[in-house]
Amino acid sequence: MKYILSVLICGMAFGVSAQMIDLIGSGAVGGALTKESITSINQGMNALKYTQIMQAISQNAAMIKIKYMGDYVKVGRSDIVGNPFKPYQFNVGSSTKNRFFIELKGVEQKLCRRLVTSGVGAQDIDINGQGENSNACSVSSQIKFIFD
């Protein structure tokens, strides 16, 4: 029961949809929550987190492109409201006049590899300061998505 409660609490913290939390809760109440069900729920939560991060990167990059129209010198963290990349820390800035970046810190290795190969619209990606090599993903990766 402690495990089920912790899954529910984590689900709420990561912004999991109400339907998924209802599914977890009803399974726990009915006693039908098996180990396989928990595994499936965890996989669903991870897929949802990946999708939310990918969408947040793409949406915020598009908003910055619209706002600055190619002159990215003044791009900064204040251009993104709140933290749409929870639970990861992030930074935003310009690398040159014509380029800006969205950087995520503390990304786990599996998610790092998925984000790097997903194609969020970035022209360049730098993983842990080692370029675009997905083998550079580590337990706590720093990923910089660079946009034109």
Number of domains in the chain: 1
Strand ranges across the sheet with 89-96: 89-96, 99-107, 141-147, 124-127
Average pLDDT, the chain: 82
Confidence check: pLDDT of 8 > 60: no
Q: Tell me if 6 is assigned to some domain.
A: no
Q: Tell me if 125 is assigned to some domain.
A: yes
Q: Tell me if 56 is assigned to some domain.
A: yes
| Angstrom distance (rounded) from CA 88 to CA 96 | 25
For every residue of 39-74, DSSP letters joined together read HHHHHHHHHHHHHHHHHHHHHHHHHHHHHHTT--TT
Q: Tell me if 76 is assigned to some domain.
A: yes
CATH of the domain at 127: 3.30.1690.10
Query: Dihedral of CA 107/109/114/117: which sign?
Result: positive
Q: Tell me if 23 is assigned to some domain.
A: no
Q: Tell me if 13 is assigned to some domain.
A: no
Confidence check: pLDDT of 47 > 90: no
Range of the domain at 116: 34-147
* pLDDT for position 116: 87
